Structure 1
């Protein structure tokens, strides 16, 4: 991808999100959350692709995927006033609709258009579909990691706010409880991703966020996660329970081992 193509997309994004802010105060708070998230995912992608020594054209391609991965969130929220896909529509599918309707990739080589669309379309799946092949798989893994690296930041910032100041759509309407669900804790303790359908409360969602450490793809991703110390910050938000601490300690050890892999 040429440099001017990415600059054109960046200019388009800034103009595109403006009209979605013409809403009530609560809506503005939720839209701004996603605008800032997109910008920070782009920054995370830049750190990640630099750390993994990608070429300049590939770094720009990855930047385009990062910029466009959540553009479906804006029409989603305008229509349904939620970011929960199960109560509205798949935001990744909506993003591809926006990309095509706005003709954002017009003029790019066909292989680059398909790569960007597929990476956007599948970035939010629980796992990467087996039919996805290289080089699309590389960019899909990159956006999944860059996305997580900022979502951790998003929620830690939210948890630091009084509940009435939080962007209401971010926590999916989940109730506050002092405990965690046994099913979610068991998944984390096994080193598995906590599934959203098992989540019953905000504390369960924190376990889900921690479990994402088992689904990163690059040494740079683990290094950044360790540097930002997100898992320790999330742990501080959870009940001081022996089983909870043990599951989180295992997750942190897993991250540490992959952030500093032993040389062969």
Structure 2
């Protein structure tokens, strides 16, 4: 079990992150939009992680923020070197994030067990499914980080479509074509209560449905409540085609969300 000794001050880590982001500043406005996107995303994931972790031990809440600060550090060199956020066209950003963490010895203020817990959470935060067999505390931190990450990725993606084209961070759409169709296998997966595989995507609409399917992978009841409060499903409905197949898929996800929240009320 983790020590409940005095919780370290995270201000040095926060200051390091600000300096790290500053080291990637670019005179190219289009490039800088993408770096700014990831800096804001990380700060929002930190906020979400702290909110989801409320009620946990102070030490665990601290680790939640540490993991959130570190989780996307690899996005900055990834975009600098490859001009994309698509891992399959570059490299695994989560593995690169863990590498940056080690190179800068960012976790030296933690215990050995805590360092291992955070490193695993950072390295695995983008896997399709949480692997079995992780130590309980590691699995819990990983699941919390994945929830917090999703909450802000939804914001990023919805804002991308609401912004004028010239103000969009170019890499946010991962290069998928903006065509009206939705792949049948993507719709089938969402209707069946399954996560959508990135490899099955053909369009931006498919990418939207993939993100809708993430609701099936939410771990904390508080995250589900935030999804409802923020109207995530309604916002995706507004940017997806208004046809029966899509509406049916969204209805299935809404039923799942309502059922999970109702169950949590009956069985707190």
* Length-normalised TM-score, structure 1: 0.96
Which of 78, 81, 96 aligns to 1:79? It is: 81
Q: Is the 8 A contact 1:226 1:259 kept in 2?
A: no
Which of 132, 135, 139 aligns to 1:133? It is: 135
Aligned-residue CA RMSD (Å): 1.3
Matches within 5 A, 1:36-185: 36-50=40-54, 53-185=55-187
Q: Is the 8 A contact 1:223 1:260 kept in 2?
A: no
The 1-side partners of 2:132 and 2:158 are apart by 32
The 2-side partners of 1:115 and 1:23 are apart by 37
Q: CA deviation at 1:6?
A: 1.9
Q: CA deviation at 1:5?
A: 4.0
Q: CA deviation at 1:19?
A: 1.4
Give the ranges of 4+ consecutive aligned residues of structure 1 lying more than 3 Å apart after TM superposition: 1-5
* Length-normalised TM-score, structure 2: 0.94
Q: In structure 1, list runs of 5 or more residues that go unmatched.
A: none
Q: CA deviation at 1:2?
A: 4.9
Q: In structure 2, list runs of 5 or more residues that go unmatched.
A: none
- Determine if the alignment matches structure 1 residue 22 to structure 2 residue 26: yes
Aligned length: 262
Q: CA deviation at 1:164?
A: 3.0
The 2-side partners of 1:41 and 1:30 are apart by 16
Q: CA deviation at 1:107?
A: 3.4
Matches within 5 A, 1:178-217: 178-217=180-219
Q: Is the 8 A contact 1:176 1:203 kept in 2?
A: yes
The 2-side partners of 1:240 and 1:31 are apart by 33
